[in-house]
Chains A and B, each alone.
Chain A
Amino acid sequence: MQDLGIRVLFDGENGVRLLLGLVVTLKLSIITIIASCLLGTLMGLLMTLRNPIIHIVTRVYLEFIRIMPQLVLLFVTYFGLTRAVGINLSGFTAAVIVFILWGTAEMGDLVRSAFISIPKDQYESGTALGFSKLQLYRFIILPQALRQIIPPAMNLATRMIMTTSLVVLIGVVEMLKTGQQIIEANRYTAPSAALWIYGTIFFLYFFSCWPLTILAQHLEKKWEK
């Protein structure tokens, strides 16, 4: 029985299909991670400004996005927004929108806290030494801020990769959906396929995220001082 199950993975194109599912997962992750980094940096810088209106708007946005489970945001966008605006979003597009909104909020908060954690005397000393505004940021502020941002940003990236698994619930055909299809197709010839397919998906996710986690831990330790 068991060996029948594992054979499903190598039967025909099943293995390749599962990997193509992984490609969809990673594509979604990479698009949204890159967009979130860019927009999040912008948002983080906006949040450091001392404008009360910007402060309130960004704060409410951040708290709302943070407190809602990502799956709820996906549902609201996929089922609600399409009706409210009258446009037809594919599951993939809805997922891209939600993950960028979420990633931007989280990234914005990381950037903000990194910039405000740099002591004021760093700015003052730089100015006193005759650095121009551009030089000040280029040589003093950014190098310090980046060391604080990069490790948590990488952890955010792994969280985003893991969270993309939810998109199967709004009908995107990615790795989990492909796995389900393979299991269904082989229901009678290989009844134990579910064990092997889900086990494989488990490890495919693990090996997509683990290297990033390890690298983040390494960088964090290296830059701790």
Chain B
Amino acid sequence: MDWAFMQRVIPMYAAAVILTLQLVIVGIVLATITGLAISVIRYKKIFLLSPLSAAYVQLFRNTPLLVQLFFLYFGLPKLGIHISSEACAIIGLTLLGGSYMAEAFRAGLNSISPSQIESAQALGFSPIQTLRYIVIPQALAVSIPPLCANVIFLIKETSVFSVVALADLIYVAKDLIGLYYKTDEALLLLVAAYLIILLPISLAAAVLERRIRYAGFGNSRTL
């Protein structure tokens, strides 16, 4: 191991980590908004939009991000639609993530029994109030474990961003291997960088899930 070399290239990895995190944060926020909108559309069975949303979820849950990115980055310019690398990455992550998030929210919404909503109506809650005070708090408790899993999944998926010419971690590692033949060092730093990103998030998700499990305790659904 060439430690001096590793010290020298650490800033390159740090820059790649920051780029990845920036794209991931924007992507996940947009994906969550998309997912929430889609799941509410499907829950409310809105005319025409509901089947379209279902088709969108199936389409993007059953295709790899890599192929989606190839299509966005290399295919769409042929139609005259030019998208920058960063925009491509964010659009890809949003479309993919939106479909996964929608399924997570849907599981939560579907877990609420109709009697809850009927009771709220009987108590004079407006539809918005029902959603705000009855449906969403309960649905969120069920949705949080899959949501956390999706966040980790989406961060892992960002490893393909180098194909749209973004200097992400894989790009840096491949570059160093190609330029200096420092394979072991480059790969070690690659693994370390992903551990630094993912380990805290994964631990936080585990803690959060444990809390939620206590929140759900006593719920008839868990019996």
Is A71 a contact partner of B187 (Cβ separation < 8 A)?
Answer: no
CA of A162 to CA of B62, assembled, Å:
7
Contact with A along B148-185 (1 / 0, CB 8 A): 00001000111110110000011001100100000110
Is B67 a contact partner of A80 (Cβ separation < 8 A)?
Answer: no
Distance from B70 Cβ to chain A, minimum over Cβ atoms (Å):
5
Is B194 a contact partner of A209 (Cβ separation < 8 A)?
Answer: no
CA of A160 to CA of B133, assembled, Å:
39
Is B74 a contact partner of A209 (Cβ separation < 8 A)?
Answer: no
CA of A166 to CA of B202, assembled, Å:
23
Say which residue of B63, B64, B70, B170 sits within 8 Å of A75 (CB atoms): B170
Contact with A along B60-82 (1 / 0, CB 8 A): 01111011101100111111000
Interface residue B190 (Cβ < 8 Å from any Cβ of A): yes
| Closest residue of A by beta carbon distance from B59 | A206
| A198 with B191, Cβ < 8 A, contacts A75-B170, A209-B62 known | no
Say which residue of B78, B152, B160, B177 sits within 8 Å of A5 (CB atoms): B78
Please choose the segment from A51-59, A130-138, A139-147, A187-195 that sits at the chain B interface, where 4 or more of its residues have CB less than 8 A away.
A187-195
Please choose the segment from A33-41, A62-70, A88-96 that sits at the chain B interface, where 4 or more of its residues have CB less than 8 A away.
A62-70
Interface residues of A, dominant DSSP: helix
Is A199 a contact partner of B64 (Cβ separation < 8 A)?
Answer: no
| Closest residue of A by beta carbon distance from B201 | A67
Interface residue A176 (Cβ < 8 Å from any Cβ of B): yes
CA of A201 to CA of B70, assembled, Å:
10
Is A72 a contact partner of B190 (Cβ separation < 8 A)?
Answer: yes
Interface residue B199 (Cβ < 8 Å from any Cβ of A): yes
Contacts across chains A and B counted by CB atoms under 8 Å: 108
B202 proximity list for chain A (CB < 8 A): 63, 67
How many A residues are at the interface, by size bracket? Answer: 35 or more
Interface residue A125 (Cβ < 8 Å from any Cβ of B): no
| A202 with B183, Cβ < 8 A, contacts A72-B159, A72-B190 known | no
Is B75 a contact partner of A69 (Cβ separation < 8 A)?
Answer: no
CA of A192 to CA of B152, assembled, Å:
36
CA of A202 to CA of B59, assembled, Å:
9
Is A79 a contact partner of B74 (Cβ separation < 8 A)?
Answer: no
CA of A122 to CA of B184, assembled, Å:
51
B74 proximity list for chain A (CB < 8 A): 183, 194, 198
Which of B59, B78, B195 has most A Cβ within 10 Å? B78
Is A162 a contact partner of B190 (Cβ separation < 8 A)?
Answer: no
Is B70 a contact partner of A83 (Cβ separation < 8 A)?
Answer: no
Could you write out 17 A-B pairs with CB less than 8 Å apart?
A: A67-B202, A68-B195, A71-B159, A75-B170, A76-B187, A80-B187, A84-B184, A176-B66, A183-B74, A191-B78, A198-B67, A198-B75, A199-B75, A202-B67, A205-B63, A213-B58, A213-B62
Extra contacts besides A69-B159, A83-B184, A198-B70 (14): CB < 8 Å: A5-B78, A67-B152, A68-B195, A69-B156, A79-B183, A165-B66, A166-B160, A194-B75, A195-B75, A195-B76, A202-B63, A205-B62, A205-B64, A206-B62
Give A residues with C-beta under 8 Å from B.
Answer: 5, 63, 67-72, 75-76, 79-80, 83-84, 158, 162-163, 165-166, 168-169, 176, 183, 191-199, 201-202, 205-206, 209-210, 213
Give B residues with C-beta under 8 Å from A.
Answer: 58-59, 61-64, 66-68, 70-71, 74-79, 152, 156-160, 162-163, 169-170, 173-174, 177, 183-184, 187, 190-191, 194-195, 198-199, 202
What 4 pairs between A and B have smallest CB-CB spacing? Answer: A69-B159, A209-B62, A192-B78, A165-B64
